[in-house]
């Protein structure tokens, strides 16, 4: 580039010199020689100045382009930082939703045996990797949580990460399929890579049934490639398994691809049931902890009234009960605490969301599946039928 600039300058100078020589040749003997020479010198100076301006501008342009590049890089870095601040890690073009959960098992009501199993498979290996190595214990068997929607599968997986200070990466398969169209496989790789970078990490696959083939139906095109990529990545975790542990969840266990349930993948199945009486009482307590409630509220009565409700239904009831005194206060009434009547009023309108899931589980059971999920599903359907169906059915 510099060589080219010098060449241009040289040509201009040569042009000026030749011009001067020609003019001198014609006008040497004439009387206005001095004036003409001064004129020529002035023109030469002007030409040199113009040339200098021209090259300075080119340099200036280059500087501007360099600055634009730097600014662009800064903008991309800022955008990525913003994505991370809003709950994600930017990995290539994908926004990987990675978090550091601030809840632990003490925030999860009930589910005693599920907590114990997750502790054994995930929490203890993360907390004591060297002990596991010393005693030759195998780490990294993926867990598949299954059960009705809104009963705490995602919540307990997040709490498990909080329990041992791990990062939590929640990958909703439907998001991968819809938002990442055409880039799904690349984004799965990006997700595993982000999980490694932020290790220890719990990698959580929600709605894992969305990439499953239903009972032997063959997968096609894009979905097949996605399942393959997921399996490659899962199997590839073989080495660093003590750093990234996997959990998956489904509301439709009967639809999960059998390839995903092989040893080394999600071979351990854990049922996450609807909350029992004590769990419901505890959920009311947990989700009103930071709300102004009347001291005489009887959580046992609320638990009795919500038989057959999911944990998410109860969380919603707590939220909506708070809206009643809030609306009154906004309209000018004196702010008051949330009363048991506020909860009861909301419950009149909000029924359990579980009956439709129970019906589809029942349909699946009628198909005569021979599976280890059979017993749990049969038990829960039976239990549900014992509830006051008039109250629970929408």
**In whole angstroms, how close is the CB of 332 to ligand ADP at the nearest point?**
32
Q: How many Cα atoms are found within 13 Å in the side-chain-facing hemisphere of 187?
A: 22
226 vs 311 by CB, closer to ligand ADP: 311
Q: Which residues contact 7 (CB under 8 A, 6 or more apart)?
A: none
Is 299 a binding residue for ligand ADP by CB under 6 A? The answer is no
Scan residues 126-155 and list those touching ligand ADP (CB under 6 A): 149-155
113 vs 341 by CB, closer to ligand ADP: 113
Give the SS3 label for residue 386: coil
The closest residue (CB) to ligand ADP is 152
**In whole angstroms, how close is the CB of 368 to ligand ADP at the nearest point?**
26
**In whole angstroms, how close is the CB of 66 to ligand ADP at the nearest point?**
49
**In whole angstroms, how close is the CB of 206 to ligand ADP at the nearest point?**
7
Give the SS3 label for residue 48: helix
Is 303 a binding residue for ligand ADP by CB under 6 A? The answer is no
- Rounded Cα gap, residues 54 and 46, in angstroms: 12
**Alpha helices (runs of H) in 198-293, residue ranges in sequence order:** 221-236, 277-286
Is 110 a binding residue for ligand ADP by CB under 6 A? The answer is yes
- Which range binds ligand ADP by CB under 6 A, 6-14, 225-233, 307-315, 342-350? 307-315
Is 318 a binding residue for ligand ADP by CB under 6 A? The answer is no
**In whole angstroms, how close is the CB of 296 to ligand ADP at the nearest point?**
23
Give the number of residues written for the chain: 394
Is 355 a binding residue for ligand ADP by CB under 6 A? The answer is no
Give the SS3 label for residue 353: coil
Encoded one letter per residue, x for contact with ligand ADP by CB under 6 A and - for no contact, window 192-211 reads --------------------
- Which range binds ligand ADP by CB under 6 A, 106-114, 220-228, 257-265, 380-388? 106-114
101 vs 110 by CB, closer to ligand ADP: 110
Q: 167 near 97, Cβ under 8 Å? A: no
Closest CA to 376 of 236, 256, 244, 274: 274
6 vs 113 by CB, closer to ligand ADP: 113
Residue with tokens 């382009």: 65
140 vs 150 by CB, closer to ligand ADP: 150
Q: How many Cα atoms are found within 13 Å in the side-chain-facing hemisphere of 225?
A: 13
- Rounded Cα gap, residues 33 and 219, in angstroms: 94
Size of the site for ligand ADP (CB under 6 A): 17
Q: Which residues contact 8 (CB under 8 A, 6 or more apart)?
A: 51, 55
- Rounded Cα gap, residues 385 and 53, in angstroms: 89
Encoded one letter per residue, x for contact with ligand ADP by CB under 6 A and - for no contact, window 225-254 reads ------------------------x-----
105 vs 387 by CB, closer to ligand ADP: 105
142 vs 150 by CB, closer to ligand ADP: 150
Closest CA to 271 of 165, 366, 361: 361
Closest CA to 191 of 172, 213, 215: 172
**In whole angstroms, how close is the CB of 113 to ligand ADP at the nearest point?**
13
Is 315 a binding residue for ligand ADP by CB under 6 A? The answer is yes
Residue with tokens 């002990």: 131
Instruction: Among 122, 227, 286, 373, indicate the residue that binds ligand ADP (CB under 6 A).
Output: 286
**In whole angstroms, how close is the CB of 286 to ligand ADP at the nearest point?**
5
| DSSP element (H, E) containing 246 | strand 244-250
| DSSP element (H, E) containing 319 | helix 311-330
Q: What single-letter DSSP state applies at residue 335? A: P
Is 283 a binding residue for ligand ADP by CB under 6 A? The answer is yes
Q: Name the site residues for ligand ADP (rule: CB under 6 A).
A: 108-111, 149-155, 249, 283, 286, 311-312, 315
């Amino acid at each position: 580039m510099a060589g080219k600039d010098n060449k241009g300058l040289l040509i201009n100078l040569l042009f000026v010199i030749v011009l001067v020589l020609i003019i001198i040749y014609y006008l040497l003997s004439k009387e206005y020689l001095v004036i003409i020479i001064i004129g020529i010198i002035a023109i030469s100076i002007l030409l040199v100045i113009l040339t200098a301006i021209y090259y300075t501008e080119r340099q200036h342009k280059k500087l501007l382009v360099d600055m634009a590049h730097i600014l662009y890089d800064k903008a991309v870095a800022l955008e990525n930082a913003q994505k991370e601040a809003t709950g994600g890690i930017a990995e290539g073009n994908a926004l990987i939703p990675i978090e550091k959960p601030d809840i632990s098992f003490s925030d999860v009501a009930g589910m005693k045996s599920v907590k114990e199993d997750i502790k054994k498979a995930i929490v203890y290996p993360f907390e004591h990797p060297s002990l596991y190595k010393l005693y030759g214990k195998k780490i990294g068997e993926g867990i598949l949580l299954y059960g009705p929607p809104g009963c705490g599968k995602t919540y307990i997986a997040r709490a498990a990460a909080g329990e041992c200070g791990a990062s939590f990466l929640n990958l909703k398969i439907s998001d991968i399929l819809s938002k990442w169209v055409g880039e799904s496989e690349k984004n799965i790789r990006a997700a595993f890579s982000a999980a490694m970078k932020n290790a220890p990490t719990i990698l959580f696959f929600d709605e894992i049934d969305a990439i499953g083939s239903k009972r032997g139906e063959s997968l096609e095109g894009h979905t097949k490639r996605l399942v393959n990529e997921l399996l490659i990545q899962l199997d590839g975790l073989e080495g660093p398994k003590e750093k990234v542990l996997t959990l998956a969840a489904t509301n439709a266990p009967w639809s999960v691809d059998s390839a995903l349930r092989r040893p080394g993948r999600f071979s351990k199945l854990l049922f996450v049931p609807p909350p029992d009486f004590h769990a419901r009482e505890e959920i009311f307590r947990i989700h009103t902890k930071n709300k102004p409630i009347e001291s005489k509220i009887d959580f046992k009565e609320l638990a009795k009234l919500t038989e057959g409700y999911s944990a998410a239904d109860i969380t919603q009831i707590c939220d909506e009960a708070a809206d009643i005194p809030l609306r009154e206060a906004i309209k000018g009434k004196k702010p008051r605490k949330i009363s048991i009547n506020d909860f009861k009023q909301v419950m009149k309108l909000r029924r359990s969301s579980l009956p439709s899931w129970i019906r589809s589980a029942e349909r699946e059971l009628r198909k005569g599946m021979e599976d280890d999920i059979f017993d749990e599903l049969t038990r829960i359907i039976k239990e549900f039928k014992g509830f006051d169906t008039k109250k629970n059915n929408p």
